[in-house]
Amino acid sequence: MKGSRKLYVKSFGCQMNVYDSQRMADTLAPNGYVETATPEDADLVILNTCHIREKAAEKVYSEIGRVRRLKEAAAAHGLRVLIAVVGCVAQAEGAEIVRRAPAVDLVVGSQNYHRLPELLARAERDGKAVDTEFPVDDKFEHLVAPSAAATRARGVTAFVTVQEGCDKFCTFCVVPYTRGAESSRPVGKIRAEVERLADAGVREVTLIGQNVNAYHGEGPHGRPWSLAQLLGLLAELPGIERLRYTTSHPRDMDTDLIAAHRDLPQLMPQLHLPVQSGSDRILAAMNRRHTRADYIDVVTRLREARPDLALTSDFIVGFPGETEDDFTATLDLVDEIGYSGAFSFKYSPRPGTPGADMDDQIDEATKSDRLHRLQAAIDRSQAVFNRRCLGRKFAVLFERTGRYDGQLVGRSPYLQPVQVAAPTALIGKIAAVTVTEVASNSLFGTLAQEPALAGAGA
Ligand code: SF4
């Protein structure tokens, strides 16, 4: 190992970026890079960017400005700090970043970060390195596995990327352009990664992908496996007590995957299933490839398989052409489904996507008003779900200490944070908790007298 240098990684956006950031740190560890919690003492600052949200690129440029000042201060003391912009904004705007931000030393697309050590060497030597091509080789083949100690330090839950990219081309979304076509990791590689995590003490694994239920990775005999098959295999691995997956598309919820919610006790009764709108007209304009009725049908079949399933969703309000009637259909859907929570956003055009060129863009005031009303409906739905938890007994996986002495924070099967007075020896363990109080975003409870429950269910 080379002499120790400090690495600061700032993640923007979703869980996939958090996972990617960890893998970047793992990939650079053999080159002597040790993670630090603040950019001030870093030799290398990586901004792992996300292109989904509004003004994503502007946020990155303002962050670059902040880090540039640190770089200049270090240079005044004869020290060299490197700045890398990685991820989806780098993928989409690589040339523009080089032009607008000369302080940036490396620009690396979302599919190329396995090449960070070699690109870093090039930037140190030549002053600049840029790689935003979609590579023919699979980055996962080249990534370095973290040490057991590094895995343990990250806690008892972990994300594992099983799928990347998207072929759906919703008209508001940049993912098919920044992450490329759908691709899935082979079953054997995923199994090995999950076994390694279990050996290091991880008890809950969330399989992630932009379109995770379109998973079709190579199985043991060379044939593609579905997500349901993959979940079935992982459920049998010793030490893995809980499984989740996200993010799913309604069209790809096939019969086997729905049945897995009935048959696998390790598969937690919670699912993030974005619908985006309750109006068929808007769903068609969004190119979602499902109708409101299709979505309700999938939810009905899921709830037949697992009656206590908690559902969350994503919504966009103010998509071009959305009328008050369309929006009312969305509000009605929230009431009809009954969500345990949801993310909601005002539509904002992404350059290069079809939605950006559509007529009938909605004015800001209308979008804000609709967002406000939608969020109120989601809050009501979440409050109903949480209230139903009061007095019930759940299996809680304890993850960390809480804000107060003697308090632990864990997760219910439905992914709600649960705060309980409990000994730290319970971290990493599942114990029965009776819910005594509910707040808008978390539950409070007491350890139940009964012995610990198994991994699943309420
Ligand atoms: S399915 Fe999801 S990732 Fe794919 S284009 Fe639509 S919103 Fe984007």
DSSP string, 205-255: EEEE-TTGGG---B-TTSSB--HHHHHHHHHTSTT--EEEEE---GGG--H
CB 266 within 8 A of CB 229: no
What distance in Å separates the CA atoms of residue 441 and residue 443, rounded to the nearest whole number?
A: 7
Which ligand 1 atom lies nearest to the CA of residue 166? 4
Which ligand 1 atom lies nearest to the CA of residue 314? 7
Whether the CB of 273 sits within 6 Å of ligand 1: no
Residue with tokens 């992982």: 234
What distance in Å separates the CA atoms of residue 145 and residue 126, rounded to the nearest whole number?
A: 29
Whether the CB of 276 sits within 6 Å of ligand 1: no
Burial 33-57 (b: 16+ CB within 10 A, else e): bebbeebeebbbbbbbbbbbeeebb
What distance in Å separates the CA atoms of residue 366 and residue 432, rounded to the nearest whole number?
A: 46
Whether the CB of 213 sits within 6 Å of ligand 1: no
Residue with tokens 């091509």: 133
At residue 94, the 3 state secondary structure works out as helix
Give the Cβ contact number of residue 248 at 10 Å: 21
Residue type at position 104 = V
DSSP letters spanning 255-318 = HHHHHHHHH-TTB-SEEE---B-S-HHHHHHTT-S--HHHHHHHHHHHHHH-TT-EEEEEEEES
**pLDDT of res. 136:** 55
Q: What is the pTM of this model?
A: 0.83
| Spatial CA neighbour of 392 closest among 413, 422, 407 | 413
| Spatial CA neighbour of 29 closest among 49, 50, 9 | 9
| Spatial CA neighbour of 137 closest among 168, 162, 170, 115 | 115
16, 170, 314: residue to mutate for ligand 1 pocket, most atoms within 8 A of CB = 170
Phi first, then psi: give them for residue 382, nearest 5 degrees.
-65, -40
**pLDDT of res. 156:** 93
Q: What is the pLDDT along the chain (458 residues), one digit of tens a residue?
A: 456 899 999 988 777 888 888 888 988 888 889 999 889 989 999 999 887 766 777 888 889 999 999 999 888 888 889 999 998 888 888 888 888 888 999 998 877 888 888 888 888 888 888 877 766 556 666 666 777 777 777 789 999 999 999 999 999 998 898 888 999 999 999 999 999 999 999 999 999 999 999 999 999 989 999 999 999 999 999 999 999 999 999 999 999 999 999 999 999 999 999 999 999 999 999 999 999 999 999 999 999 999 999 999 999 999 999 999 999 999 999 999 999 999 999 999 988 899 999 999 999 999 999 999 999 999 999 999 999 999 999 999 999 999 999 999 999 999 999 999 999 999 999 999 999 999 988 899 999 975 444 443 33
**pLDDT of res. 1:** 47
Residue with tokens 């009501």: 380
Whether the CB of 134 sits within 6 Å of ligand 1: no
**pLDDT of res. 135:** 64
CB 59 within 8 A of CB 96: no
| Spatial CA neighbour of 458 closest among 397, 414, 409, 425 | 414
111: tokens are 């599919």
> Which residues is 444 bridged to in the sheet?
419, 437
**pLDDT of res. 456:** 38
**pLDDT of res. 330:** 98
